[in-house]
Structure 1
Amino acid sequence: MIFEMTIQFRVTNFKEGLHWYNLLFDKDPDFIPHEGFAEWEIVPGSWFQLAQGEPADGSGPLRLGVTNLEKVKEKLIKELGLDGVEIHSRPEVPVKWCTFNDPWGNRIGLFEYLDKVEEARRISELN
């Protein structure tokens, strides 16, 4: 039985990476066990690890669900200096989404459910 999930991205400049991901996740790490390594619990049982090192070729994307994609996109443009981030949708897909790179080439995606009842149901399952 799978009960938790962890994904790890590596960055060549840990100090800059820590700052960048603090802004992305809007919080400090939950756990820093040693120098060059930090972890955030994104949602219960889902952890993101940031490690000092060379990014893996083709790393990601890490996809994160948000409740207001346009608002988060504007925040990331302002705080992280992202540009060229486009929101996409397709009639047969129940979400809209965008994908971008961190400064080290790791892929990150954001998505928002179009069906707000479904979104609320999924969020309520976290509590």
Structure 2
Amino acid sequence: MIVRELNTALPWYRSLLGDPDLTPMEGVAEWKIADNAWVQVSEELERAGGSNVILQVDDIEAARREVDEKGITTGEIADYGFVRVLDLSDPDGNRVSLVQDA
């Protein structure tokens, strides 16, 4: 995920993912979300706001309640028959989609 300023974006990502597992260099934070999967947030003013990531959840209704309780703005859960999707946007407009298989 590419953001304008990491220090501005970090509170949002901490609310969603907790504290970063790594900060390998200035302007970069990383979260280990599975044994072989990471989410990286990095600072690059010119490219900020166009990233997407999809995170699978077991219970999308519970995930929505959890992010709502953390103050993260959500939209409606979209049901496509084979998958249900809840889109979130970080302060730079990057999209984080929470998905549950139907």
Residue of structure 2 aligned with 1:110, choices 60, 83, 98 = 98
Q: Distance in 2 between matches of 1:64 and 1:29?
A: 16
Q: Which amino acid in the other structure matches residue 52 of structure 1?
A: E
TM-score, normalising length: structure 2:
0.84
Q: Give the drift of 1:57.
A: 6.5
Which structure 1 segments of 5+ residues have no match?
A: 1-8, 115-127
Q: Give the drift of 1:60.
A: 3.1
Q: Give the drift of 1:81.
A: 3.4
Which structure 2 segments of 5+ residues have no match?
A: none
Aligned residue-pair number: 102
Identity of aligned residues (%): 29
Residue of structure 2 aligned with 1:81, choices 54, 72, 78 = 72
Q: Distance in 2 between matches of 1:74 and 1:87?
A: 12
Q: Which amino acid in the other structure matches residue 78 of structure 2?
A: H
Q: Give the drift of 1:55.
A: 6.4
Q: CA, structure 1 residues 40+57, in 2 after alignment: closer, same or farther (shift >3 Å)?
A: closer
Q: Distance in 2 between matches of 1:107 and 1:101?
A: 5
Q: Which structure has the larger Rg over C-alpha atoms?
A: 1
Moved more, 11-20 or 50-59: 50-59
CA deviations 1:30-81 (Å, max 9, x no partner) are 1111221111111111111111222637623211001111121122123133
Q: Distance in 2 between matches of 1:35 and 1:46?
A: 21
- In structure 2, the residue matched to 1:30 is 21
- Structure 2 matches for 1:1-127, cutoff 5 A? 9-25=1-17, 27-54=18-45, 56=47, 59-83=50-74, 85-91=75-81, 93=82, 95-114=83-102
TM-score, normalising length: structure 1:
0.70
Q: Which amino acid in the other structure matches residue 8 of structure 2?
A: E
